[in-house]
Amino acid sequence: MMNNTMNDGTDIERVVMRRVRLIRILRLVISTVVLAMITAVAALWGIGREVWVARVFENAPVNIEDLPNFYIAAFLHSHVIVQVLSLLTLASLLYLAVETARLLVDSIKPRRD
């Protein structure tokens, strides 16, 4: 006669529940939002390694109207790796903004049961 209580699970049940917990943790860790944040940080780090960012800000014009032309020219005259990393950073930050807006809209929207 087997003596199974609610606290005493079988080996199969323990293995399955351990895998379920592992999958839930991995879902949080390997989400697209986390991936986008890591991508943005890595791309910014790469830009910092390739470009002396402080010098770019020092060379920027004081007049606000000239800033777009300055940054476009700085982007176009930089190395290809800097351009790729800049676009990757921009794409990651846009994705994060969209996901944040989606999260806020879903949290504000009333639930229909």
Q: Quote the domain boundaries for residue 36.
A: 31-105
What is the number of domains present in the chain? 1
Which residues of the chain are under the pLDDT cut of 50? 1
pTM over 0.95: no
Asked if residue 7 belongs to a domain, the reply is no
In-domain check, residue 94: yes
- In a domain, residue 25? The reply is no
Residue 19 located in a structural domain: no
User: What pLDDT, on a 0 to 100 scale, did the predictor assign at position 100?
Assistant: 84
Instruction: Using the structure block, give the residue that is written with the tokens 């910014």.
Output: 44
Q: Buried b / exposed e across 31-46, counting CB within 10 Å, b at 16+?
A: eeeeebeebbeebbeb
The backbone torsions φ and ψ at residue 50, rounded to the nearest 5 degrees and listed phi first, read: -90, -30
